[in-house]
Amino acid sequence: MRSLNFGDFLYLLLAVRWTILLSMAAFAGGGLIGAGIALLRVSSRPAVRLLAGLYIQLFQGTPLLLQLFLVFFGSDMLGVPLPAFVAATIGLSLNAGAFLGEIWRGSIQSVPKSQREAAEALGLHYATIMRRVILPQAMRIATAPTVGFLVNLVKATSLAAVMGFIELTRAGQLINNATFRPLPVFATVAVLYFLLCWPLTIASRRLERRMALATKR
């Protein structure tokens, strides 16, 4: 047992970089998965829509912590042990893909059907319609909720601490175990999470207001 010192707070500050890196990696992976899920959800084939829907129900209907455990320990049981960072990235990406897929699916379907019908009347193929007509409009609609989800994803990275990955929350646990000063340690952790998420929250709200003004015009 030792006293809390400035080096401990510096250690927490340095741990923020791993939280940011994990958030970025999970958002990138989740974005790729989510884009595929969104396109499958708006497919004209019922079987494809059903499979995408099952994926979403699976990952939205089970705890994220359980999903992380299954990836981390399941890979080890299969003989392919993964580092904590890789396992956390995969687990968070799979979960984020389900939520982003639904956000983007709703954005795609919110584009007026007349836009698609007009493009079809011009003889454009499905891929061209999606790329040049539907997706540019859907991206503008999806921006605000996507940024809002990113806030939740940053906070969700704290669950990687249970796998031993030393991000911000795990760093706080290690310092608390050495100093037994939970109040200042975890208060600092909370402040650092707030400083990470607050700008994203402000950006999300501003984007929502801009989108509302654009819709009124």
Per residue in 104-152, pLDDT (tens digit) is 999 999 888 888 888 888 888 888 888 888 888 888 888 889 998 999 9
For the chain, list the domains and their CATH numbers.
6-216 (1.10.3720.10)
Cα–Cα distance for residue pair 30/93, rounded to 1 Å: 4
pTM of the model: 0.90
Confidence of residue 217 (pLDDT cuts 50, 70, 90): low
Apex CA 79: angle with CA 76 and CA 82, to 5°?
Answer: 45
Six-digit token string for 111: 């584009």
Q: Which residue would you say has higher pLDDT here, 48 or 141?
A: 48
**Banded pLDDT at 215 (limits 50, 70, 90):** low
Average pLDDT score, the chain? 91
**How are the residues of the chain apportioned to helix, strand and coil, as percentages rounded to the nearest 5?**
85, 0, 15
Q: Calculate Rg over the CA atoms of the chain.
A: 21
d(CA 147, CA 202): 10
Question: Nearest CA to 55 among 102, 4, 11, 122?
Answer: 102
